Amino acid sequence: MLIEIPQLLSAEEVSLVRSIVDSADWIDGRATAGEVAARAKRNVQLPEDSPEARRAGDIILQALGRNPLFNSAALPLRVLPPLFNRYDTGMFFNAHVDGAVRSVPGLGIRMRADLSSTLFLSAPDEYDGGELVVEDSYGVHAVKLPAGSMVLYPAGSLHRVNEITRGARLCSFFWTQSMIKEEGLRTLLYDLDRGIIDVRRSLAGDTEGVLMLTGVYHNLLRHLASL
């Protein structure tokens, strides 16, 4: 399930995040990659423990917390603090799969990476190339979104970032552990939730049927959630 989340950040928030990270010191992105990924990766990143990354990441985490589409699709249990990368002209990240388990900085615990997120901070007309290409059971998807918009996709998907041929692509990326481990069940709950919302809007209120379906949703979530 690949889901685009439009305008996760407002234009003002995008501008603030960019002003924070633009003033930071960047490092070679291969420093944070495993042996296989390092051979495929050519970009720069903010150190995850830098004050700029933490400050900008907090803005993103607050936006995620108030976004109903993200919470419906991801059913998040834990969200890793957002990281930041930049692809300048000639940079790329060849096809790879994200690691299954990530360490949570400062907490001494690990989390399962169920979902990957890429939040675009550069406008599409600022660069050529740089599409995020995700391969899943539904086909191949090339994603290049407006600044402030985000794409959510299974972390186990094969994906890549096409080479930049002009300009620079700035993004935030992070991983989420869902309360629902199995992707198929998570998708069913998402579809049910969105269906209930659509019916409520069309009926302009809560009928007995809507209340029953809402109860089914929450009782399924209660049964399936792993906390």
- What φ, ψ does residue 192 adopt, rounded to 5°? -65, -45
Question: What is the mean predicted confidence (pLDDT) over 14-20?
Answer: 98
49-84 burial: b if 16+ Cβ within 10 Å, else e? ebebbbebbebbeebbeebebbebbbbbbbbbbbbb
CB atoms within 10 A of CB 112: 17
Residue 197 or 204, more confident: 197
- The per-residue pLDDT for 35 is 65
Is the pLDDT score of 40 beyond 90? no
pLDDT at 165: 98
Fill in the amino acid letter for 25.
D
Every domain of the chain and the residues it spans: 3-178, 183-224
Domains 3-178 and 183-224 belong to one CATH topology: no
pTM: 0.94
**pLDDT of 31 strictly over 80:** no
- For 61, the token pair is 């985490």
Residue 150 is encoded by which pair of tokens? 């985000």
| CATH architecture under which domain 3-178 falls | Sandwich (2.60)
Mean pLDDT, rounded, for 104-121? 93
Band (205; pLDDT cuts 50, 70, 90) = confident
Residue 117, judged by CB atoms within 10 A of its CB (0-12, 13-18, 19+), counts as buried
**d(C-alpha 221, C-alpha 45), whole Å:** 37
Mean pLDDT of 191-210: 90
CA distance linking residue 70 with residue 180, whole number of Å: 14
User: Across residues 96-117, what is the average pLDDT?
Assistant: 92
Q: Which range among 62-71, 75-84, 158-167, 205-214 shows the weakest confidence by mean pLDDT?
A: 205-214
Per-residue model confidence (pLDDT) at position 1? 85
Tell me the two tokens of residue 40: 């495929």
Q: In the predicted model, is pLDDT for residue 101 greater than 70?
A: yes
Highest mean pLDDT among 101-110, 116-125, 198-207: 116-125
3-state secondary structure of 5: strand
Considering only 26-30, 67-71, 90-94, which range has the smallest mean pLDDT? 26-30
Q: CA Rg, the chain, in Å?
A: 18
- What tokens does 69 get? 């589409």
More confident residue, 53 or 37: 53
> Residue 47 pLDDT more than 80?
yes
User: What's the burial of 45, exposed, middle or buried (CB within 10 Å: 0-12/13-18/19+)?
Assistant: buried
Q: Tell me the CATH class for 183-224.
A: few secondary structures
pLDDT of residue 177: 97
Q: What is the mean pLDDT of the chain?
A: 94
